[in-house]
Amino acid sequence: MKKIFCKMWPVLLLVFSGAMAGQKLPVHTYKLDNGLTLVVSEDHSSPTFGLSIAYHVGFRLEPRGRTGFAHLFEHMMFEGTPNAPKGSFVKIIQGGGGSLNGSTRYDYTNYISTAPVSALEPVLWLEADRMRHLDFSEENLDNQRDVVKEEIRVNVKNKPYGLFFWTDLAALAFNKWENAHDGYGSFVDLDKASIEDVERFHHTYYAPNNAVIAIAGDVDGDTAYKLVNKYFGSIPAAKLPTLPDVSEKPNTKERFEKETDEHAMAPALAIGWKMPGPDSADYYPLAVLGEVLLGGDASLLYQKMVKEKQSMLSISGGMGWPLGDPLTFAGPSLMVAFGIYKPGSSAAQDTSDIQGVIDQLARQGIDPKRLKAVKTKMIADFYKQLASYIDRADYLAITQLLHGDANLVNRYPDLIRKITSKDIQRVAEKYLTVANRSWIDRQVAQQHQEKQP
């Protein structure tokens, strides 16, 4: 029951009615005896709350031979407990006027919800209840296995490009199984998942000392703390397994793969460069570099490839794209550039043109005015993301969980501001090289090619 960290500015809170005035978000952090960390950010501008509970387990920690299990498990968290039958969660949240979601990522799994503040207490009860135990039934598992398979059909198998720029690119670029395997999982592995696996996983990772809960909105820290302690305080801590070393060095030889797409009508290209984890001094410079190259219509690669050379129809990407951003990884990620290219162009030419832009940047550095504009945009985008309580709570939970410091959301603007042109040059030269590059040329299947005008 120690408050490990409490920044409270009661005067400020009153004067500014809670919202993020003075550009600093109020952040109070508490720790329960069982190891559960609570982060509260008070804001009374809307009578609602956003809540995120993040567990330190994601794709990288799922058991071997059980690809896709972390995500399947996430679905099981909505299937009821011995106290609250299947469906209770949605019923209570929606009946409370709110909405909820869950998602699985490389280093965490999060459960987010938002509602009018009158629903906060029942929601906390339900979150505590499913941290304590689940309804481990075969019927639920079979049902969710089917739902997950449909999800994979919708997003991967029946969809043009089928997320190859995530799953296939990671498989090509990374060496360690933790980083390289498909987080959606194979149907074979999903079929192998048993109810014992589900129980073991819950027992191992869904413990208070492996989680952070964050609440943003119309509630004060002490009230939130009392409620969280009331419902979560008696859940026992677990002995956590040691985390594997998932770090990887940049590749020393270029990797390439050609694929055929059953559904796409236009060919696409994805390039990934291996990036270090957030413990590296190069991490935030790389985040800024990603924005310089790929952040919207003013970015260098959009201007070069889509506007000037007109060889690509679109280009998007960045650090950790499309599954996250610089604040949401605890280990290595990829700098990804993905785009659809035009029939007259070739993936090899486009890749080489993209590399040309990067090499020039590494040699000559970046115009200070452009660098300032990019940083301003990144910081503004961050504020825009923090605008809704649910996203604010989610960032607080994830930064506390992965980086041990929810105040990172307040320090982030300065971390970005201090990046110099020299930093950009250094990291471009070190990581965005041909040798560290993996790329996939995704071509249109024969039967579709004839349909091209």
Partner 1 sequence: MKKNRIISMLLSLSLLAAAGNASSTKEKDAPIKGLPAYAQDKPLILPAVVEKKLPNGLTLWLIERPGLPLISMYLAVRGGSASDPENLRGVSDILSSTISAGTRKRTSRQIAEELQALGADISVGIGKDISYIGIDGLSSGTGQLLEILADTARHASFPEDEVKLAIENELQSIIASKSQPSYDLSQVFYTELFGKHPYAFVNPDPKVVARVTPKDLLAVYQQRFRPDQGILVMVGNLPTGKMAGLAEKHFGDWKSSGKKLAAIPPAPATTRQQFLVVDRPKSVQSTIYVGRPMPAAGNPDEFSLKVANTIFGGAFGSRLTQNIREEKGYTYSPHASVSDWAKGGIFSISASVRNEVTAATLTEIFYELDRLATTLPEDEELTRAQRYLKGSFLLSNETSSALASTLTGYWIDGKTPGDLAKYVPGIEKVRKQDVREMGRKYFASRKQAVAISGDAKAIMESLSLFGDIRLAKP
**What Å distances lie between residue 334 and 6, 243, 365, CA to CA?**
35, 21, 22
Rule CB under 8 A: say whether 143 interacts with partner 1. Answer: yes
| Residue 60, H or E segment | none
Rule CB under 8 A: say whether 95 interacts with partner 1. Answer: yes
Rule CB under 8 A: say whether 417 interacts with partner 1. Answer: no
Rule CB under 8 A: say whether 77 interacts with partner 1. Answer: yes
Rule CB under 8 A: say whether 263 interacts with partner 1. Answer: yes
60's CB contacts (< 8 A; 6+ apart) are: 106, 107, 178, 179, 244, 246, 331
Q: Which is nearer to partner 1, 355 or 388 (CB)?
A: 388
In the list 142, 191, 199, 279, the residue contacting partner 1 (rule: CB under 8 A) is 142
d(CA 122, CA 189): 36
Q: How many residues bind partner 1 (CB under 8 A)?
A: 110
Q: Which is nearer to partner 1, 3 or 159 (CB)?
A: 159
Rule CB under 8 A: say whether 1 interacts with partner 1. Answer: no
Rule CB under 8 A: say whether 118 interacts with partner 1. Answer: yes
93's CB contacts (< 8 A; 6+ apart) are: 99, 100, 113, 115, 119, 123, 126
Rule CB under 8 A: say whether 298 interacts with partner 1. Answer: yes
The position carrying tokens 């968290």 is: 77
* Closest C-alpha among 82, 83, 119 to residue 98: 119
Rule CB under 8 A: say whether 159 interacts with partner 1. Answer: yes
d(CA 232, CA 228): 6
| Strand positions, DSSP E, 56-146 | 99-104, 109-116
In the list 316, 400, 425, 438, the residue contacting partner 1 (rule: CB under 8 A) is 316
Rule CB under 8 A: say whether 414 interacts with partner 1. Answer: no
d(CA 230, CA 223): 11
Helix 283-294 × helix 408-417 angle, to 10°: 70
Rule CB under 8 A: say whether 356 interacts with partner 1. Answer: no
Rule CB under 8 A: say whether 125 interacts with partner 1. Answer: yes
Rule CB under 8 A: say whether 386 interacts with partner 1. Answer: yes
Rule CB under 8 A: say whether 362 interacts with partner 1. Answer: no
What is the pattern of x (binds partner 1, CB under 8 A) and - over residues 23-62?
x-------------------x-xxxx--------------
In the list 287, 323, 366, 432, the residue contacting partner 1 (rule: CB under 8 A) is 323
Q: Which is nearer to partner 1, 194 or 314 (CB)?
A: 314
In the list 55, 389, 395, 431, the residue contacting partner 1 (rule: CB under 8 A) is 389
Segment 181-200, which members bind partner 1 (CB under 8 A)? 184
Please say whether the dihedral angle defined by the alpha carbons of residues 76, 77, 83 and 85, taken in this order, is positive or negative: negative
CA 193 to mean position of chain CA atoms? 24
Q: Which is nearer to partner 1, 245 or 450 (CB)?
A: 450
State the greatest distance between any 2 C-alpha atoms of the chain, in Å, as a whole number: 69
Three-class DSSP category at 401? helix
Segment 324-353, which members bind partner 1 (CB under 8 A)? 340, 342
- Minimum Å gap between C-beta 113 and partner 1 is 10
In the list 8, 163, 195, 240, the residue contacting partner 1 (rule: CB under 8 A) is 163
The position carrying tokens 């987010």 is: 112
268's CB contacts (< 8 A; 6+ apart) are: 161, 164, 165, 261, 338, 339, 340, 341, 442
Binding window for partner 1 (CB under 8 A); candidates: 172-180, 315-323, 329-337, 400-408 = 315-323
Binding window for partner 1 (CB under 8 A); candidates: 30-38, 302-310, 404-412, 417-425 = 302-310
At 200, list the tokens: 């073991």
